[in-house]
Structure 1
Amino acid sequence: MPGEGGLATFDSLKGKIVFVTGGGSGIGESIVTAFAEQGAKVAFVDIAVEASLALCERLAVAGREKPVFRECDIRDIPALQKVMQSVAADIGDFDILVNNAGNDQRHTPEEVTVDFWNDRVAINLRPMFFTCQAVIEGMKKRGGGAIINLGSTSWHIANGGYPVYTTTKAAVSGLTRGLARDLGPYNIRVNTVTPGWVMTERQLKLWVDEEGEKLIDRSQCLKGRVMPWHVARMVLFLASDDAAMCSAQEYIVDGGWA
């Protein structure tokens, strides 16, 4: 990542209260880090306890305000609602919500069971609605807010190999646009940030092989690789006052692939 001096500082994010799902690793880790570096007060949930605690300690040692971490499986909606309510009571109503958590486990159409379908929806889509629902009243009281939902280019480019995932990620755009209309009167902006193939530790370990590298080189307009921090920077912009009139939109960060 370039030095801080080469990237924008969003003064409007200083002191803002942010909630992130899946903030312990990958793109989520970069999002939590980016907000902390802007002087925001960040809370996040994840099931990866060790990685999440280590992230909190790294940021504290670096002189940033230590994020608030709570272990939570976002498939358990009552538990997620309870965590959000508890954290808001401790640090204040949220100004910004980032729905990042997801799972892109590969699967074929033939092997999908009803239980698998329901579980993928329970990870990749259902929590997004209920986290949004949970922040509405607080954002109203604060005079507005920003919600950023993480999508995927997988359905844009007609990827195969994980049809339930592409279905849920296509639905994110519908959720964003519908909520943007409902919440706009309260100055709550709702947008989708859609990453391409991002070089997270998980992707590199499981799927980015020699053929994958060749596919990226053929498909992206830009050379290089999309990194987690590229996605985080778009999230920062949309959360900031610089994006004051941006809502109901999808912002793709994929090197020009889709």
Structure 2
Amino acid sequence: MMPSARFADLEGASVLITGGGSGIGARLTEGFARQGAQVAFIDIAEKPSQALCEEIDATTRNRPLYLKADLTDIDALRSAVDKAAAAHGPVTVLVNNAARDDRHAAEDLTPEAWDANLSINLRPHFFTIQAVVEGMRKAGGGSIVNFTSTSFMLNIGDMPAYTAAKAGIIGLTKGLAGRYGKDGIRVNAVAPGWVITERQRDLWVTQDKLDAHIARQAIPKMMVADDMVGPCLFLASDASAMLTAQTLIVDGGLL
């Protein structure tokens, strides 16, 4: 269920979400649209992204702007940022959500596969920030929310490139918070636990694994993508005006 809280400063804000067409990203796109923000999102999958735009427009009358781009192509990424700014004004809220949590054995990982993984899971975070910072400065500030993961905190061993990237996002978050705080730009991270999306169900969820995981949470309830919306809205809004360089763990209390 979407959060009931309303953040007045997000109404009309220029928001950009990477990977905003499916999974957690789709719910973030809807959540910001429900706040009255001017939302643009980047995704490579055109058909589901267009369907999402139709769905959100029907329920909110606030249609998001879909920007097709491959985030591993930095020129295409920069072009998408420019289009978002041209449509809605300088981006003042950036949510770096895009990721791909493929499993891979450490023994089989090639240099090419390592680079390909980080080109999705870490590199776009930095270059999207780089592309929006000047606009945020001119606007007088902004909020950047980077999605990391609790996976590297749990010693999960079957996706080492992914967990390395997710740990790197926290380092990136803290470093750039220190860099841009003087410009009124806050940089924080959200670390989700196991959020059960359609992709997770298709690839990795079994009832036994899910039950065991939920039993370890302080709140013994399955987490869904909607549960990530409220924390992200809070970090994007002026409700967290003096909060930067932090990682907000949202895992039902497992950690």
Q: TM-score, normalised by structure 1?
A: 0.96
Aligned pairs for 1:30-179 (under 5 A) are 30-179=27-176
- Return the match for 1:223 from 215, 220, 224: 220
Structure 2 equivalent of residue 234 of structure 1? 231
| One-letter amino acid of the structure 2 residue matched with residue 240 of structure 1 | S
1:37–1:64 Cα contact (<8 Å) kept: no
Partner SS state of residue 156, structure 1? helix
1:144-189 per-residue CA deviation (whole Å, 9 max, x = no partner) reads 0000000000011111110110000000000000000000000100
8 Å contact kept, 1:176–1:190 = yes
Aligned to 1:256: 253
**2:191 matched to which residue of 1?**
194
Partner of 2:181: 184
Separation in 1 of the partners of 2:117 and 2:83?
26
TM-score with structure 2 length normalisation? 0.98
Amino acid aligned to 1:180:
A
Percent of residue pairs bearing the same amino acid type: 47
Cα drift, residue 64 of structure 1: 2.9
SS of equivalent residue, structure 2 residue 154: coil
Q: Which amino acid in the other structure matches residue 152 of structure 1? A: S
Is the contact made by 1:43 and 1:67 (CA closer than 8 Å) also made in structure 2? yes
Asked if 1 retains the 8 angstrom alpha-carbon contact of 2:194 and 2:251, the reply is yes
Q: Aligned partners of 2:42, 2:183: CA distance in 1, in Å?
A: 26
Aligned pairs, number: 255
Equivalent-residue separation in structure 2 for 1:106 and 1:202 (angstroms)? 13
**Structure 1 gap segments, 5+ residues each:** none
Report the AA paired with residue 103 of structure 1. Answer: R
Deviation digits for residues 110-148 of structure 1 (CA, Å, limit 9, x no counterpart): 110111000001000000000000111100011000000
Task: Quote the Cα distance in structure 2 between the aligned partners of 1:235 and 1:127.
Answer: 19
CA shift for structure 1 position 65? 1.4
Deviations 1:13-66 (A, max 9, x none): 000000000000100001000000000000001111111101101111113311
1:210 Cα shift?
2.3
Distance, in Å, in 2 between the alignment partners of 1:195 and 1:175 is 17
Which ranges of 4 or more aligned residues in structure 1 deviate by more than 4 Å? none
Tell me, in whole angstroms, the C-alpha distance in 2 between the residues paired with 1:123 and 1:211: 30
* Cα-Cα RMSD: 1.0
Structure 1 residue 82, shift from structure 2 partner: 1.3
Q: How does 1:12-27 map to 2 (within 5 A)?
A: 12-27=9-24
Q: Does the 8 Å contact 2:71/2:124 carry over to 1?
A: yes
Query: 1: distance between equivalents of 2:161 and 2:220?
Result: 30
Counterpart CA distance in 1 for 2:220 and 2:188 is 27
